[in-house]
């Protein structure tokens, strides 16, 4: 589990001359386990940066003495190539010019005040994951990675991929993994994994007065594959007992307990799904090669841009890539104007036998391209492919498996 990762908290330098803003930010950051240092103006910020080498800067654009743009420019010109400190600029202006100016000055991200603390924390986590050494990513932030699986349309295989990726991360990469069924009304995991209705689940934890580690330990179920499970309620009418906020809290509580938190999202694009997307380090948008999928993928990508998600946050996973649909990968990429990051091969027999037996295919020893491409996918995630930096495009994970299959299929 994650205990060994909770060594050093990331230190965040908050640069803002407004005492109120400082207080609110400090509170939110300390709650997440970060250390906080303050500067009231640009000159003090530079001094502290040089003396203290914080892990990340929250930099108001309009601080006195030397404004945020100048501070960012100075830091970028003085830090060595190896020492990139992530900077999130905070500004009151919504227009695009200010954002561009901030990014040009060297900020990695620009957030318009007022913002939701959950959004700020998600961005901090994502930047620390990209730039800071692992042991400096903060007490909670350094630990589990939250991977959300979302189907571009019904039946594309989001649940199959979430379950089997969770198992492959555990069996193939030796990681501690929890799988969360966030299809609260009609969650399928009890069927896919051959578990009865009597097992506890997320509702039992989310309705506790305090959602803490102990409450979660009481309801986590162990699966034969070795992964942990947080199940959806067996009856749809209890789903609404879990609010989006409670789900966010559950996921954050799980972060220090597991190396991976794999979430199978509901198909509805609602507050619950958005809350999960916000907390997630990576959203795997699962699609098949058909027009309806492509249309929905475009909509979700556009939503991600509107929400200012980092461009690598949503990654495309083409499932059943070797089935013949009349649309190939290149055509799909051309339509989407976006690379398809991963491919998982088609194998109806293996997938449906697994489902009917309640034994996920990732548990089988199999020569199937489906199993092979799935393990390749999990390996790429574990190598860090899922938080790809824009400068270093990641290889298509399905690699040998699905690519070979594309040619022969």
Q: What is the C-alpha end-to-end distance of the chain, expressed in Å?
A: 40
Beta bridge partner(s), residue 283: 148, 314
Q: Which residue intervals of 84-208 are DSSP H helices?
A: 96-105, 117-131, 158-171, 189-192, 202-206
CB 178 within 8 A of CB 230: yes
Order of all β-strands in the sheet with 228-230: 221-222, 228-230, 177-181, 260-264, 145-151, 282-287, 314-318, 342-343
Q: Using CB under 6 A, which of 137, 159, 165, 394 touches ligand ATP?
A: 159
Q: Find the helix or strand (DSSP H, E) in which 148 lies.
A: strand 145-151
Q: How far is the CB of 323 from Mg ion (least distance, A)?
A: 18
Residues 140-159 that bind Mg ion (CB under 5 A): 159
Q: Using CB under 6 A, which of 44, 343, 347, 382 touches ligand ATP?
A: 347
Whole-angstrom distance, CA of residue 142 vs CA of residue 129: 8
264 versus 382: smaller Cβ distance to ligand ATP: 264
Q: How far is the CB of 156 from ligand ATP (least distance, A)?
A: 5
Residues 310-339 that bind ligand ATP (CB under 6 A): 319-320
Whole-angstrom distance, CA of residue 393 vs CA of residue 166: 24
Q: How far is the CB of 37 from ligand ATP (least distance, A)?
A: 45
CB 370 within 8 A of CB 346: yes
Q: How far is CA 236 from CA 154, 184, 401, in A?
A: 18, 7, 38
Backbone angles phi, psi at 289, to 5 degrees: -85, 75
By a kind-dependent CB cut-off of 5 to 8 A, residue 347 interacts, out of Mg ion, ligand ATP, none, with: ligand ATP
Contacts of 176 (CB under 8 A, 6+ apart): 1, 2, 170, 228, 258, 259, 260
Q: How far is the CB of 189 from ligand ATP (least distance, A)?
A: 10
151 binds ligand ATP (CB under 6 A): yes
By a kind-dependent CB cut-off of 5 to 8 A, residue 231 interacts, out of ligand ATP, Mg ion, none, with: none
346 binds ligand ATP (CB under 6 A): yes
Give the number of residues in contact with ligand ATP, rule: CB under 6 A. Answer: 20
Q: Which stretch binds ligand ATP (CB under 6 A): 34-42, 62-70, 158-166, 397-405?
A: 158-166
296 versus 319: smaller Cβ distance to ligand ATP: 319
158 binds ligand ATP (CB under 6 A): yes
By a kind-dependent CB cut-off of 5 to 8 A, residue 187 interacts, out of ligand ATP, Mg ion, none, with: none
Q: How far is CA 30 from CA 24, 27, 37, 249, 333, in A?
A: 10, 5, 11, 16, 42
**Which of 359, 355, 377, 375 has the alpha carbon at shortest distance from 367?**
375
204 versus 266: smaller Cβ distance to ligand ATP: 266
Q: Which stretch binds ligand ATP (CB under 6 A): 88-96, 148-156, 380-388, 399-407?
A: 148-156
Q: List the x/- string, 231-270, binding to Mg ion by CB under 5 A.
A: ----------------------------------------
Q: How far is the CB of 285 from ligand ATP (least distance, A)?
A: 11
Residues 155-184 that bind Mg ion (CB under 5 A): 159
Give the number of residues in contact with Mg ion, rule: CB under 5 A. Answer: 1
Q: How far is the CB of 386 from ligand ATP (least distance, A)?
A: 19
For residue 194, count other CB atoms closer than 10 A to its CB.
13
Q: How far is the CB of 354 from ligand ATP (least distance, A)?
A: 7
Q: How far is the CB of 373 from ligand ATP (least distance, A)?
A: 8
Q: Using CB under 6 A, which of 86, 144, 157, 233 touches ligand ATP?
A: 157
Residue where the block lists tokens 């199978």: 264
155 binds ligand ATP (CB under 6 A): yes
Residues 353-382 that bind ligand ATP (CB under 6 A): 355, 370
Beta bridge partner(s), residue 342: 317
For residue 114, cis peptide bond before it (omega within 30 degrees of 0): yes
Whole-angstrom distance, CA of residue 139 vs CA of residue 188: 33
Q: List the x/- string, 223-262, binding to ligand ATP by CB under 6 A.
A: ----------------------------------------
Whole-angstrom distance, CA of residue 62 vs CA of residue 41: 9
Residues that bind Mg ion (CB under 5 A): 159
Residues that bind ligand ATP (CB under 6 A): 151, 154-160, 188, 267, 319-320, 344, 346-348, 351-352, 355, 370
């Amino acid at each position: 589990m994650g205990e060994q990762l909770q060594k050093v908290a990331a230190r965040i330098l908050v640069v803002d001359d407004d005492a109120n803003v400082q207080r609110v930010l400090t509170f939110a950051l300390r709650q997440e386990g970060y250390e906080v240092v303050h500067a009231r103006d640009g000159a003090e910020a530079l001094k502290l940066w040089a003396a203290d080498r914080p892990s990340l800067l929250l930099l108001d654009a309009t601080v006195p003495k030397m404004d945020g743009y100048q501070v960012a420019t100075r830091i970028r010109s003085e830090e060595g190539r190896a020492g990139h400190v992530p900077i999130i600029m905070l500004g009151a202006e919504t227009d695009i010019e200010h954002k561009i100016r901030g990014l040009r000055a060297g900020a990695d991200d620009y957030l318009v005040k007022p913002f939701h603390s959950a959004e700020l924390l998600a961005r901090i986590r994502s930047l620390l994951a990209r730039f800071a050494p692992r042991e400096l990513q903060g007490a909670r932030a350094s630990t589990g990675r939250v991977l959300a699986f979302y189907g571009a349309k019904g039946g594309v295989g989001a649940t199959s991929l979430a379950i089997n990726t969770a198992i492959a991360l555990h069996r193939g990469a030796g990681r501690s993994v929890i799988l969360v069924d966030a299809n609260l009304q009609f969650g399928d995991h009890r069927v896919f994994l051959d578990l009865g209705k009597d097992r506890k689940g997320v509702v039992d934890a989310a309705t506790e007065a305090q959602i803490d580690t102990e409450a979660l330990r009481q309801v986590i179920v162990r699966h034969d594959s070795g992964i942990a499970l947080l199940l959806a309620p067996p009856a749809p009418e209890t789903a609404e007992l879990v609010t989006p906020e409670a789900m966010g809290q559950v996921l954050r509580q799980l972060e220090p307990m597991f190396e991976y938190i794999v979430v199978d999202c509901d198909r509805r694009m609602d507050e619950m799904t958005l809350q999960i997307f916000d907390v997630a380090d990576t959203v795997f948008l699962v699609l098949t090669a058909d027009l309806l999928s492509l249309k929905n993928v475009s909509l979700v990508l556009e939503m991600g841009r509107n929400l200012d998600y980092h461009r690598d946050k949503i990654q495309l996973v083409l499932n059943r890539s070797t089935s013949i649909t009349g649309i190939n990968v290149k055509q799909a990429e051309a339509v989407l104007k976006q690379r398809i990051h991963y491919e998982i091969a088609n194998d109806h027999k293996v997938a449906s036998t697994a489902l009917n037996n309640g034994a996920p295919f990732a548990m089988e020893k199999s020569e199937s391209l489906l199993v092979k491409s799935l393990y390749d996918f999990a390996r790429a995630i574990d190598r860090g492919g899922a938080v790809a930096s824009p400068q270093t495009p990641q290889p298509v994970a399905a690699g040998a498996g699905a690519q070979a299959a594309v040619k022969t299929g």
